[in-house]
Amino acid sequence: MNHRMKEPISQMRAWHAAGRAVAVATVTRVAGSGPRLPGARLLVCSTGAFTGSVSGGCVENAVIQEAEGVLQDGEPRQLSFGMGDEMGWEVGLACGGQIDIFVHRADPEVWVALAEALQGAEPVVLLTVIGGETALGRQAVVRPTGVFPASFPFPAAVEAAEPILSGSSGTDDVTVLRLNSGAEVLVEPLLPPPHLIIVGAVHPAIPLVQMAKTLGFRITIVDPRSRFAERELFPEADQIVVEWPQEAMARLGIDGRSAIAILTHDPKIDDPALAAALNTEAFYVGAIGSRGTHANRVERLEQLGMTADQLQRVHSPIGLDVGGRSPEEMALSILAEMIAVRNGRKGGSMSATAN
């Protein structure tokens, strides 16, 4: 299930099973230094209990009050908070940004359909009508096999979700789609978790698995050495494959949401693993080793037919330069670089960039 939706769906199921109505508040737009990203949500049930967050605490109390109003009268609300606004200042939004939040009453049938869709590994797009003159609060769950409910009134929004499902859109950002009819639809991709393939069941792989799991990665350990690839060492790994990496990669379904970290430091394993990795669409390929080690590796890979463009994709020495020496610090460095690459950043200091 999508990491971000696991807790909201679990709580929604429990409240619906108890016969409680639920209001959903979702961040739809952020300008400036917003405390949460679009798609962040807060759920409030008819007893006053709530879960989730739309601002990390800045405006939660005000949003909960509005959600309780939605549960009473059934009317959706469009809220906006900013430092310059009187209401934003009263509730303490002092970060200098502005956030827009849409609050509506949850449709149990849509959330059941969403939970079912997210049980598998397929991509899902959740559509929510947040603006316009009609159908405010209506939602649809779009998946490769179709849309629920079929009566969703804006087929153009369903069509806009199709390239996201196929992976051809190149983005998984939450966006607002403005239709010719004047309606505004929140388009929220809920994609399978990113896949981290770690080649080499070595010591730094242990904290790397632990940290990556916390960030919602699906993790596969690949190592042909059975005495290294022990389940007891990697209880959080989703899969442990005792095979040569070039054989395993051929059937792991590696795509543009996959990252590959090669940690064995053994040319017999590293070289074929890199050759296989560079023939995939993985967004990140990193290999452990010094600059000298990598220079020698490049020569060997060129002899295997790897092109200069392919070899430019390899991050080696692997990880950001944080001066780390322990396995835990190495794992943090690797994961930080991986996330920076995924987000199109170089991984430099934010304070240095600001200056």
Q: pLDDT of the chain along its 355 residues, tens only?
A: 666 788 899 999 999 999 999 999 999 999 876 677 899 999 999 999 999 998 877 788 999 999 999 999 999 999 998 855 554 444 545 556 789 999 999 999 999 999 999 887 778 999 999 999 999 999 999 999 999 999 999 999 999 998 888 766 667 789 999 999 999 999 999 988 889 999 999 999 999 999 999 998 999 999 999 889 889 999 999 999 999 999 999 999 888 889 999 999 899 999 999 999 999 989 999 999 889 999 999 999 998 888 999 999 999 999 998 887 899 999 999 999 999 998 888 877 766 655 4
pLDDT at 3: 65
Let me know if 90 is exposed, middle or buried by CB neighbors in 10 A (0-12, 13-18, 19+): exposed
- Dihedral sign for Cα 238, 242, 248, 249, please: positive
Q: What is the pTM of this model?
A: 0.68
Report the pLDDT value the prediction gives residue 98, as an integer from 0 to 100. 86
Within a domain: 349? no
In a domain, 247, yes or no: yes
Residue 350 lies in a domain: no
- Residue 353 belongs to a domain: no
Residue-level pLDDT at 350: 66
Q: Do residue 47 and residue 132 come from a single domain?
A: no
Would residue 15 count as lying in a domain?
yes
338 and 204 together in one domain: yes
Question: So what's the pLDDT on residue 168?
Answer: 64
What was the pLDDT predicted at 343?
81
Give pLDDT, residue 94: 53
Let me know if residue 355 belongs to a domain: no
Do 58 and 94 meet the contact criterion of CB atoms below 8 Å apart?
Answer: yes
Separation CA 127–CA 185 (nearest Å): 6
Q: Is residue 65 domain-shared with residue 175, that is, in the same domain?
A: no
Same domain, 154 and 185: yes
Q: Using the 8-state DSSP alphabet, how is residue 318 labeled?
A: -
For residue 306, give the CATH number of its domain.
3.40.50.720
Nearest Cα neighbor of 138 from 151, 128, 150 is: 128
Q: Which among 190, 205, 225 is the end of a domain?
A: 190
Task: Map 48-91 to HEC letters.
Answer: CCEEECCCCCCCHHHHHHHHHHHHHHCCCEEEEEECCCHHHHHC
Q: Amino acid identity, residue 134?
A: T
pLDDT in tens, 136-170: 999 999 999 999 999 999 999 999 998 888 766 66
CB atoms within 10 A of CB 279: 14
**348 in any annotated domain:** no
Say whether both 239 and 265 belong to one domain.
yes
The verdict on 210 and 337 lying in the same domain is: yes
In a shared domain, residues 303 and 260: yes
Say what the pLDDT of residue 170 is.
62
Q: Do 219 and 328 share a domain, yes or no?
A: yes
For 87-242, strand residue ranges (E) read 98-105, 124-131, 139-143, 146-148, 175-178, 184-190, 195-199, 218-222, 239-241
Give residue 355's pLDDT: 46
Rounded Cα–Cα distance for residues 72 and 74 (Å): 6
Q: Are residues 80 and 125 in the same domain?
A: no
Q: Given this model, what pLDDT does residue 89 score?
A: 42
What number of helices (H) and strands (E) belong to the chain? 12, 16
Out of 105, 132, 150, pick the residue that ends a domain: 105
Q: Which domain holds residue 51?
A: 3-105
Strand partners, 142: 125, 147
pLDDT of residue 48: 93
Do 172 and 157 lie in a common domain? Answer: yes
**Cβ pair 187, 193 in contact under 8 A:** no
Residue 279 and residue 239: Cα distance in Å, rounded? 22
Domain boundary among 46, 71, 105: 105
- Same structural domain, 170 and 241: no
230 is a domain residue: yes
If asked whether residues 252 and 310 sit together in one domain, one would say yes
Number of domains in the chain: 3
